Amino acid sequence: MRQLVLFSILASFLAYAAQATREPSPGNSRVRITIRTENGKSTGLRLRVTNSAGEYFAPLGHLTKADRQVRSAGDLILGDGQNSPLELHALVYDGAEIDLPPGQYTFLARKGYEYKTIQKEVQISPEGQQSVALTLRKFADFEAKGWYPGDTHLHFPDPQGVRYEMECEGLRVCSLLLLKSGFKDPPRPGDGHFWNVEHFTGKLSPVSNSEHVIKVGEEFRHGLLAHLIFQNLKSIVWPVSTGGLRESGAGGYDWPLMFHASGDARSQGAVVTWAHWPYPSLEAPLDIALGQIDSLDLLTTGSPFEHHPELVEIYKMQGASVYSMPPIEVYYHYLNCGFRLAASSGSDKMGLNPPIGSARTYVKTQGPLSYDSWVDGIRKGRTFITNYPLLEFSVNGKEPGDSLSIQPGKAQLSVRARAVSLEPYQALEILYNGEVIRKVRPSGENHQSVLDETIDVERGGWIAARAHGPKMLEYGRTWWRMPVFAHTSPIYIDMGGRAAPAAESARLFLEQLGYLQRWVESQAKLPKAENKKEALSLIAQAEAIYQNLVDRERRTRAR
């Protein structure tokens, strides 16, 4: 059955056989590409074929020129044309063909983050049919340990195209999201146009199978408050976008709040994720405090260590102190407040760049892989995110998402972490309540780093691992440039009333809630007078939670 699905997609999507002629084009040799895993299984991968002069040659049926305006599934552009040249790559399956003039060529191939890179030098002769064999070998096998990689955030291509590309990029789960964009001059206020609504069924896409799972979800958007991802929906949460341009049509209402939309999604059993954190995030301290958010997509746009100026301007992120802080630090402040938020990530793919799964979420599922078990793993925080480094992490045998209860007072914890990566990174680090407490540098093959130490703690809170380095991965638009980076979800430590220091963090979010309150009172376009009253009531509830954290810290110090 799996082979039938693959060949059906192949025939309807790129249709190699239909496009290929019986003879190669004049002056070329026809080359058949065989792609196998080390155990002989037929598969797909990302391929770039170049001659000795660096010129790119496309497999049959693929783009021959890097054009970012073209929306062609099965092709990929890397680079941004400014900091790095545009490079065209093809996503191909076993049996793909390519016409090449006689000469020397380099076949460069990758598949996900667990397989070794293939770089094969090939001499093409002038006569007859020829073949090139590409054999993939894993240097790390996280799937064997129950960790499955997926992409939480896609808008392109369609489900069949996603199914085709995800095998070539080594992904197991993908969430294709419907969205609404606004019109500048809509026929009616708030009108806009939709993407991917036609693919939404509330069920798994029919191109899914036991190894590759696709489901259409939703990105609910407001240009100031939030962009939220709803995975595992049964029905669409309308109106999909609120506010004005860019997300909804000009003149649209700022209602319902993201709080209401996420509540509707969660009532269906959906997982709610903050898209491309923190762009935008005015409503974040309300939604997080009131328990509406399961995870944050921490690695989609730019560096987690600095705000991207273009996105700050687009989403009018001025005023609140958190808007001048690195996005990853704001995440740590929420964790210090005691909120349990998983780390997740997706590519936000809308065209030929970035790659599907350029930023991906590894999830440890309970039982066999399924869409339900994968999104439930995000809900439980059994995740790490990465754009290359692969992380293993435990504290006293507990893994990300777990809780560890210990007696009040000074305690010793056994921390173990390991990272390997195709791309170089600078350090593997352990964080305790937002502070780096251990660091080790990678070395040797596959940039391996290992940390196995005992640490002393005197308060509860959280511990996580991360790996990162200065090398930038350039995926097109400036805000998709990101450093090599990986981060686990936290392991939570419960020490009988001795929680992480939270007063400083809580004050940041109280200040931000003040900005949200003033926006509701003087700027928000609301359909009914009682909407303002309801919004202010919700803000007051969130403020009480943060104020209690400030007061708790004061009481703790007074003891």
**264: enclosing H helix or E strand:** helix 258-267
ω before 280 within 30° of 0 (cis)?
A: yes
- What's the one-letter identity of residue 196? N
CA separation for the pair 403, 460 (Å, rounded): 10
Confidence of residue 171 (pLDDT cuts 50, 70, 90): very high
- What's the one-letter identity of residue 118? I
Mean pLDDT (the chain, rounded): 93
Say if residue 541's pLDDT is above 70.
Answer: yes
Say if residue 240's pLDDT is above 70.
Answer: yes
Tell whether 176 and 281 lie within a shared domain. Answer: yes
Confidence of residue 483 (pLDDT cuts 50, 70, 90): very high
- What are the b/e assignments for 2-39, b being 16+ CB within 10 Å? eeebbeebbeebbebeeebeeebeeebbbbbbebebee
Contact (CB, 8 A) for 274 and 296: yes
- Residue 142 falls within a domain, yes or no? no
- Residue 403 falls within a domain, yes or no? yes
CATH of the domain at 214: 3.20.20
- Residue 478 falls within a domain, yes or no? yes
Tell whether 370 and 441 lie within a shared domain. Answer: no
Indicate the residue among 382, 414, 435 that finishes a domain: 382
Contact (CB, 8 A) for 161 and 196: no
- Residue 529 falls within a domain, yes or no? yes
CATH of the domain at 90: 2.60.40.10
**What is the torsion angle, in degrees rounded to the nearest 10, for the CA atoms of residue 222, residue 226, residue 231 and residue 235?**
-30
Q: Which of 17-31, 107-121, 475-489 has the lowest mean pLDDT?
A: 17-31
Indicate the residue among 329, 347, 382 that finishes a domain: 382
How many structural domains does the chain have?
4
Range of the domain at 526: 503-558
* pLDDT, position 9: 43
Tell whether 277 and 174 lie within a shared domain. Answer: yes
Tell whether 393 and 525 lie within a shared domain. Answer: no
Tell whether 331 and 396 lie within a shared domain. Answer: no
Tell whether 449 and 544 lie within a shared domain. Answer: no
**What is the torsion angle, in degrees rounded to the nearest 10, for the CA atoms of residue 9, residue 231, residue 224 and residue 250?**
60
Contact (CB, 8 A) for 415 and 446: no
* pLDDT, position 145: 96
Contact (CB, 8 A) for 416 and 439: no
Tell whether 216 and 342 lie within a shared domain. Answer: yes
- Residue 468 falls within a domain, yes or no? yes
Tell whether 209 and 345 lie within a shared domain. Answer: yes
Say if residue 549's pLDDT is above 90.
Answer: yes
Tell whether 79 and 164 lie within a shared domain. Answer: no
Give the residue with greater pLDDT, 150 vs 15: 150
Number of other CB atoms surrounding residue 405 within 10 Å: 10
Indicate the residue among 73, 107, 136 that finishes a domain: 136
CATH of the domain at 474: 2.60.40
CA separation for the pair 193, 182 (Å, rounded): 6
Tell whether 262 and 404 lie within a shared domain. Answer: no
- What's the one-letter identity of residue 519? W
Number of other CB atoms surrounding residue 98 within 10 Å: 27
Say if residue 524's pLDDT is above 60.
Answer: yes
DSSP strand E in 288-389: where? 295-297, 342-344, 360-364, 383-386
* pLDDT, position 558: 56
CA separation for the pair 301, 452 (Å, rounded): 32
Q: Whose structure tokens read 């996900």? A: 112
Say if residue 529's pLDDT is above 50.
Answer: yes
Confidence of residue 535 (pLDDT cuts 50, 70, 90): very high
Contact (CB, 8 A) for 412 and 445: no
* Strand partners of residue 350: none
Tell whether 185 and 309 lie within a shared domain. Answer: yes
Averaged pLDDT for residues 16-29: 69
Nearest to residue 170, comparing CAs of 3, 419, 355? 355
Tell whether 417 and 545 lie within a shared domain. Answer: no
Contact (CB, 8 A) for 477 and 77: no
- Residue 36 falls within a domain, yes or no? yes
* pLDDT, position 137: 98
* pLDDT, position 80: 79
Confidence of residue 21 (pLDDT cuts 50, 70, 90): low
Nearest to residue 488, comparing CAs of 328, 334, 343, 272? 343
Averaged pLDDT for residues 181-200: 95
pLDDT digits (tens, 9 = 90+) for 403-450: 999 999 899 999 999 999 999 999 999 999 999 999 999 999 999 999
Task: Output the DSSP codes for 40-65.
Answer: S-B-EEEEEEEETT--EEPPTTS-SS
- Residue 147 falls within a domain, yes or no? no
Averaged pLDDT for residues 473-477: 81
- Residue 146 falls within a domain, yes or no? no
Characterize the bridge pairing of strands 390-395 and 482-488. unpaired
Say if residue 273's pLDDT is above 50.
Answer: yes
Say if residue 287's pLDDT is above 60.
Answer: yes
Six token digits for residue 239: 């109106």
